[in-house]
Every structure is written in C-alpha cells, then in structure tokens.
Chains A and B, each alone.
Chain A
C-alpha cells in the first residue's frame, strides 16, 4: 500500500483524503463572499493568479456557516477544470497507511453519508476517508433548489 493520505480535521471529525486529489494546503487570507449562494459556498479567494471557489464543508455537515475568524486552512484541489478550496479545521499529517481502505462500520451520521467512501486507520484511530470531488458534486443538488 503505497497510497499516501492527508489526515485532517473537518467539522470536528477526523478525515483522510487521498493525496492524489490534493494539490496543496494553504492558509486563506482574504475571502470575497458570493451573494445569492448557500452557506456552504464561503466565497472566492485568490491563490496567485488563480481564483479558488472556497467550500465551507463544515457548513454542509453542521448546516450553519463557519464563523469568519475560523476560516483559515483550505485543501486546494482541481476538480473538473476548476480550482476549489475545501476549508478544514486543522491538518495533521501526510502518511502511508499500511492497512489501506477499510469498509465502513458502525452507524454513520446522516450528514456525512454522501461524502464518505470508507474508513482508514492511523495509530489506532479511525479516520473517515472522504473524496473532495464528492463535496463538489453533491453540493450541486441542494444548490439548484
């Protein structure tokens, strides 16, 4: 298992993301808000000459927007030609996980189900394995409503 995983905290929950999906992790400085959008779109932010659409993933889970002061870290990813930033609470580590992807056990909170692919374990702790693209694709639906 040579797959590398990025371990982070999102909405108070431990998550893992395959590094193939991740382009970078940056500290956000300035976010321009986008009116007429759901709470899960935090706004736009510039990364050099690129413009990122910042997704407040915690808002998707908890249902209310993250306070402005907490909007600091974001995982940057390129999803179908557009650059997105997924806000996270903290980033811990990038490492290989010898056990690889494990099936999901236990009853998962409904809010998480659309985004979770499975479980991974690191130092005896379970992490939810999420796909960044899932946060973009699945948000398109509530958006249209």
Chain B
C-alpha cells in the first residue's frame, strides 16, 4: 500500500479513537470551544488529506461534518443532541472506511447520503424534541481537563523487543566483565571506568523498560462513547467520571484489561444503574454516577469501577443458582454473604431476568475473572444492595518484571513470585510444629494448620542432608488455600524478568515461566497453584462449611473445639461425628430396617427415614442408631456402639476429604476419623423417601402361589403397600405400580393407566423386545418399582 495512504489511515484511526471521548464531553458542554475546535480540526484534516489522496467518500463525509461544525462555531446553530449523534455517526463511518482501506478490503457499500442528510436535516428539527432527547446525555468529567498531548513517534513493536533483548545481552556481558575484573588484580582506574559503564547500562535498561509502559488513558478512551451509547439505548442518564488516566502500565497489560473492563462497565449500566423514573421513585438523583478510577499501589494497578445503582441481589442470585441445580438448599444455609456474592462468578449464572443485547446472557463475570486471574490479577466486589456496587480489579504493573524470591531445593535454584509468599520461617522456629501422619505432613503455625509439602518431594528430587535449618514458606496461589512448602533455603530477593518457558516445560504444570538472572544461569519460576495440585493437596476451599470453620479458627487465633460423639462403626472403626447434628441416640428393632430402590431406610414412627451408611441387615435384634437432623431432613446412622462425648478440633488435624470422611482428628492420643456431615446428607436420596401409600404395588396375579408367598412378603418388607389382585372397589391411581408375570395380562393392563413391571420366570429374556425382569433379580426389581414410580 502507498506509504502516504497508510500514514493517513493510521493517523485517522488514532485521532478518531482519541476524539470519541471529546465529542461526548463537548455534547455535555457545548460552550467548550477547545473541544469543538479539536473536532473541527479533525474533519478539516481528513477533508484536506483525502482530496489529495483521492478518497471521495471520506471527503464528502468530512465536508458535511465540517460544514455543520463551522455553523456551530459561528453560532448560527446549536450543538444539540441529534447533531452530536449525526456527527458521531459520520465518525463511525469514517472509521469503517479507514479500517476497510487498511486491510485492503472492499469499501462497505452503504449510503453515506443518509448520514449526511441526517446531519443537515437536524437543523430544522423541532426544538422541543431536541430538549427531550438531550435528557439522556452523559456528562464526562476529567479532573485534569484536556492535556497537551506529549510529542510522540510511532515505532514498530519488533524494534522495541529487539532493543530490550540487546540491553539484556549488554547486562549479561557487563556481569561477565565484572567477574573477570574481580579475578584480576585491582586497577582503580579501570574499575572506575567500568563503574561508569555499569551505571550507563543500568540506566539504559530502566529507560528501555519504560518503552513498554503506556498511560491508562488508552484504556479509558473508548469508555465515554460506550457509556453514552448504552445510556441512550437504555434510556438511562449517567454521569461518568474518569480518574487517574495518567497512571502508566505495561502495554500488554493494557490490552489484557480492555475486555474485562468493558464488560464490567456494560454490566454496571445495564444491570446496575436504574432508569431515571425508578431512581426518582427510590429517592436517588435521576442521574446515575459511574466512576472509573485507576491508581498505582505498590507494584499493582488498581482499577475501580463503582456505580450507585442497585447492587447485586444475592437472594435472587442464590435462587437462580438453586434453579440451575448448582446448589442445594442445605448448602445455601451454610453460605456467608460473601460466598453468595461470589456466585456471580459462576459460569452461566446471571442476575438479569431477561437477556438483552447488552448483557445478561450469563457469559460474563466468570470469563472476566478468568481473564483477570490469568494475568496474575484479582477481582473483588463490594456490594451495597440498593445503593451500588464497586468492582475492583488489581493487576500487576507488568507481565514481565516481577519481584521474586530465589529459593534453593535439591541443589537447584528456583524463583517464586513474591506475591505468592505469605511468610517464611525456619523449621526450628518455636511457633511452628510439623507433624507427620500416614505420609501427610501438617505444619501448624501459630495454631493455624497448613498442608505441608517439600519442594524436593513434589519435583521428584533427592532431599539432601543439610546442616542448618530448612526454610518453611507459607505459599498462597491466586485462587486456593495457603499451604506450607519446605525448601533448603531462601537465598535472595530480586526483580526478575520473566519470559515464557517452552510448552514442553509448561506441560509439567508446576512452572509459570523462566528467568535469566544476572549470573547467566537460567532459572525456573514456580507456579504455586500448580505445585499444590501436583502434590494433590486437598483444596478444602471447595467446601464452604469447611472454609468457614477454618476462617473462624484463624479469627480466634486458637484451636476451636466442638463437641463430638465418639462411636464405633459396624465395621469396627472408631469415628467422630459433630454432636450438634445428633438429635438423639436410640436402640431400634433390627426388623424395621429395610432396603428400597437402592437406598437403605428404617421405619420410624410411621415414616421412612434414610439410613446414611446403607446398612440394613443386622445380626442382633436391637441396633444402636444415631438420629441425625440437618434442620429439615433427618437420617439414621446405625452404629455398633456409642462410646462417649469428646471435644474435637473444628477443623480436623489432617484434612483429607474422602467419601463421608473429612479428615483425621487426634483426641486423647487416639487417631479418629471425622465424619463429614455435609457429605453425609449430600449422599441421601433427594427429597423425602417415598412413604407408604404414595403408590401401591398391585400384584395382578394374586392367586399365583409365588406371587402370594414370595413376592408379596418381599415387597412388604421393602416398605411397599401391597394389594393382591386388581382392586375392584378402589380406582387405580397413576402412581400405583402393577406387577404381573402372566403374558396374557399384558394386553389387558395397557389400558389401566398406571405404570407396569412385567416379571418372567426365566433368567434370560426371550428376545430383544422383552423388557420384563427375572423374578429373582431383586435389585432390578426394586429399581424398576422405584423407577416407574418416579
């Protein structure tokens, strides 16, 4: 492409991007002469250049816009809402055309006359209409006002990367030279010359790193226009404030944050800020406030998006989650407000009742969070129901330079991001105890228990004997529970230039990248989350109940004890169960226990109560059983013997989620498995067990000996109400189940309107169409009865 044309296109695109905000600001304050002039100049330049480059469509469009703007400048026309919209439409069209020219595509075939017509016709539109439309305007406040743009030039990115690499090479060469100089005898003159060179190289490195930085303003340029357009579409009035545009961050980082930020702003306008009518009714000012703030905090950039809309209705969110089958009602009771709020990040959940073009399809906050976390950032919500929502994004200043710790393990050096390390102790520290049970290591630091791993062990290295104490680091990944990690030593604290490692190495899952420190020996950057999963550490954060108890524990800075019942299982193990769940302990007649549809149950006071450990067959006449209740549902837990009541720590000493167990607790020197009540109740069949009378088993062949003497008792024992023969006096109900084995009955039963189960006397089906069940296949029979009733 012609070089001149290329330059024109890229200049036009850049100016357009910068101007979009200006036009909106000018609309809010039409008397702002500076902004009007800037817009006018843009069209004027475009018109001039494209006449020269022979781009007639650009020329006609910019000419029309220039005419209108010059009328406004002369004061013969006012900058009303419609005019601004028309000007924006022309800018959009110019952007489209420029894009098409840039990629060499055919120019979009649309009618420019329509846009130009709209621009000119507006002059005669009735004033009343204008005033009304102007209501939906957006006010943009930038505290700093228009800044004089610093002089810039355009450089290809590849050149900057080349410069970066060159400087890195220089630093390494300097280090090598410095080593060589030290080996030889000191010549003060040579050394001072080297010192000067060294300082220059360091300065150079700093300066080159700055070429990667970009003002956050670039993130904000597209926001005012978007807010204006969305506000108009939805009939909402929004006062937008942008602050901190002069903060600088890594260019790549800006690219990564644009999408999440755009999404958040869209959400705020669509779901957060209410319509003017609603706001008035709520006693809020009609104009909603939306504020974007960027600031630097340490090595992080903090971007806050706050609105004064309705916030997030967590109750509604929870209902949605239950409807979607993501949560059970029991789990909700245990959740804290913050955990409920966290549901917004669940994929597929939305607070919007209906899907709009703008948002509410439920692809949203989960993606936003994933994107932010991928670049090492974090997202937090501060919800003020009815009064607004603040979403805070924290992202690292740069992707490539992070402060890191150098650790030594198995004779090798590794780097770990400083942000992942909570604290470092030596293993001879008094506040630290390390216990080992069944191969699992537990580090207790000031009464807080952590799963512990040795880095050498996870990486499959030899753990060398060492004279001094080992270092224990408490490590936390971006999303996960902290854990303790033992290393030989923590050597150093350095700013590390991180580069991506090759896919072969990333595939190991425990490395996040690599770095080349000044000594020229490559080093790997450890990924805290990857290490935890490679070591198979339990991620107890998955269970809200467990997490809260661990939070409680941390808050109290002590071991919280709860009362627990110590009992002996039917299988002989001794286990603990939280006492508060146990309603009472009683002896139950063994014959009351039974089995139905794959679930064990016991008949108590005329109700069927599920049996949690599935036992239903007992040698003794009486069985000791725990009656459990979680608030709404009850369950029965037959045991061999109830021993006593003891105090156990609220969090097991070793967390090991497995089946119905949550871990192991040490009580009076004895290791006891702790039952996880959550898993216990979660394993119960949904809903109340089907009670007697909810459906009867009708045995069609009531005269048959096998049916009467074998089948009927079996069904009765399983808790079903049995009717021999077809009922004559009572009608057949839809949830009744009809069992028959005589093939002739098959035709007759079709018209009865209830579900049927056909039995056969032979173990093998007579053919592929044969759906009957072998009459001694008890499991299939019970499942069929339960199944057809559902």
Contact of A53 with B501 in the complex, beta carbons under 8 Å: yes
What string of 1s and 0s marks CB contacts (under 8 Å) between B154-179 and chain A? 00000000000100110110000000
CA–CA, A32 to B516, complex, Å?
11
CA–CA, A34 to B505, complex, Å?
8
Contact of B504 with A35 in the complex, beta carbons under 8 Å: no
Contacts of A143 in B (CB 8 A): 504, 507-508
Q: A30-B521, A46-B520, A51-B514 are in contact. Are A35 and B503 (CB under 8 A)?
A: no
Question: In the complex, what residue of chain A is closest to B165 when comparing beta carbons?
Answer: A49
CA–CA, A32 to B522, complex, Å?
7
Shortest CB distance B147–A (Å): 37
Contact of B412 with A35 in the complex, beta carbons under 8 Å: yes
Question: In the complex, what residue of chain A is closest to B524 when comparing beta carbons?
Answer: A34
What string of 1s and 0s marks CB contacts (under 8 Å) between A27-51 and chain B? 0001011111100010011101111
Contact of A144 with B507 in the complex, beta carbons under 8 Å: yes
CA–CA, A53 to B461, complex, Å?
20
- Does any Cβ of A come within 8 Å of B460's Cβ? yes
Contact of A139 with B165 in the complex, beta carbons under 8 Å: no
CA–CA, A139 to B458, complex, Å?
22
Question: In the complex, what residue of chain B is closest to A33 when comparing beta carbons?
Answer: B412
Question: In the complex, what residue of chain B is closest to A139 when comparing beta carbons?
Answer: B504
What string of 1s and 0s marks CB contacts (under 8 Å) between B517-550 and chain A? 0001111100000000010000000000000000
CA–CA, A140 to B504, complex, Å?
6
Shortest CB distance A79–B (Å): 8
- Does any Cβ of B come within 8 Å of A5's Cβ? no
Contact of B504 with A41 in the complex, beta carbons under 8 Å: yes
CA–CA, A83 to B500, complex, Å?
11
CA–CA, A100 to B523, complex, Å?
42
Shortest CB distance B752–A (Å): 57
Contact of B514 with A44 in the complex, beta carbons under 8 Å: yes
CA–CA, A41 to B521, complex, Å?
17
Contact of A44 with B169 in the complex, beta carbons under 8 Å: no
Contact of B510 with A45 in the complex, beta carbons under 8 Å: no
Contacts of B169 in A (CB 8 A): 48-49
Contact of A32 with B521 in the complex, beta carbons under 8 Å: yes
- Does any Cβ of A come within 8 Å of B769's Cβ? no
Contacts of A140 in B (CB 8 A): 503-504, 507
Contact of A46 with B504 in the complex, beta carbons under 8 Å: no
Chain A residues within 8 Å of chain B by Cβ, number? 26
Among residues 95 to 141 in chain A, which have CB atoms less than 8 Å away from a CB atom of chain B?
A: 136, 139-140
Contacts of A53 in B (CB 8 A): 501-502, 504-505
Contact of B522 with A82 in the complex, beta carbons under 8 Å: no
- Does any Cβ of A come within 8 Å of B499's Cβ? yes
CA–CA, A30 to B502, complex, Å?
18
Contact of A35 with B459 in the complex, beta carbons under 8 Å: yes
Contact of A37 with B508 in the complex, beta carbons under 8 Å: yes
Contact of A46 among B501, B505, B511, B522 (CB under 8 A): B522
Contact of A35 with B514 in the complex, beta carbons under 8 Å: no
Contacts of B534 in A (CB 8 A): 36
Q: Nearest 4 pairs between A and B by C-beta?
A: A35-B459, A49-B168, A44-B522, A82-B502
B-binding residues in A (CB < 8 A): 30, 32-37, 41, 44-46, 48-51, 53, 55, 80, 82-84, 136, 139-140, 143-144
For this complex, 30 residue pairs linking A to B, each with C-beta atoms less than 8 Å apart, are A32-B412, A32-B522, A32-B523, A32-B524, A34-B511, A35-B410, A35-B461, A36-B510, A37-B505, A44-B505, A46-B172, A46-B516, A46-B521, A46-B522, A49-B165, A49-B172, A50-B165, A51-B499, A51-B516, A53-B504, A53-B505, A80-B503, A82-B503, A84-B502, A136-B504, A140-B503, A140-B504, A140-B507, A143-B507, A143-B508
